[in-house]
Amino acid sequence: MRKLAPGLLAVSALVASVLASPAAQAAGPSASQLLAKLSSCSQISSGKYRSDDETAANIPVCGKNGAVWYKADMDIDCDGQPTAKCSKSTDPWFQPDTAFHDSKGKPLVADKLPYVVVPSASGTWDYRKFGIQGGGVVAVIYNNKVEYAVVGDTGPTNIIGEASYATAVNLGINPNPKNGGTDGPVHYIYFKNSKVSPIEDHGKATSTGEALAQKFLNEN
């Protein structure tokens, strides 16, 4: 290991202490702060969703000032550009496309970009009528962690609770599309009228999400 000069040791120690501080580790609101605002549901969907084909339809989409949210499970979406981790050989349900594309017009990369799958528009709920769009920012909360993702794909009209391989990895969830995911609870908060451009800029999604999450706390 390369040794630091004596004059740099104090600076190095100071930087290390700052990076280890809670403020440096958590720039946005905590999971518990956000969850405290989700203690009750004002249902905005006309009906309820299933978490899987075999489960009951008991998940409503709820409204808040500046956001919509729901509590579900997390299934793994590996769709998009094929990679070593996401392809027909790793995922029996693999599709080489996503509803929304990157700045080059290509499908998203599920094992690189944290994104969420919103149910396709239907009589149960039409996300487009509530300020939700491709590239919109979503706070995904699981096991006391918050991950900021974008709306990257659409899914079945009757099932809810799905996110990309990368979202699962960042939340400590098994990302295997065959047997991964979690029964949750996973909370998804969609911030209305938000949009990250380019959609693949995760750093921008995170910084925008942190600001929107603080605004959400202030307004609810």
For 102-114, give the DSSP string: -TTSPBPBTTTS-
Query: Mean pLDDT across the stretch 124-139?
Result: 98
Dihedrals phi, psi of 212, to nearest 5 degrees: -70, -35
Query: Mean pLDDT across the stretch 165-180?
Result: 97
The pLDDT-based confidence of 27 (bands split at 50, 70, 90) is: confident
Q: What is the pLDDT of residue 207?
A: 97
Q: What is the pLDDT of residue 6?
A: 39
The pLDDT-based confidence of 189 (bands split at 50, 70, 90) is: very high
Cis omega (within 30 of 0) for bond into 198: yes
Query: Mean pLDDT across the stretch 155-177?
Result: 97
Q: What is the pLDDT of residue 7?
A: 41
Both tokens assigned to 191: 């911030």
State whether the Cα torsion 190-195-196-200 is positive or negative.
Answer: positive
Q: What is the pLDDT of residue 26?
A: 55
Residue linked to tokens 């104090």: 10
Q: Average pLDDT over the chain, rounded to whole? A: 90
The pTM of this model reads: 0.88
Query: Mean pLDDT across the stretch 10-33?
Result: 54
204 pLDDT exceeds 50? yes
Cis omega (within 30 of 0) for bond into 185: yes
Q: What is the pLDDT of residue 57?
A: 95
What's the burial of 219, exposed, middle or buried (CB within 10 Å: 0-12/13-18/19+)? exposed
Task: Give the tens place of pLDDT for each residue, 70-100.
Answer: 999 999 999 999 999 999 999 999 999 999 9
**116: β partners:** 151, 163
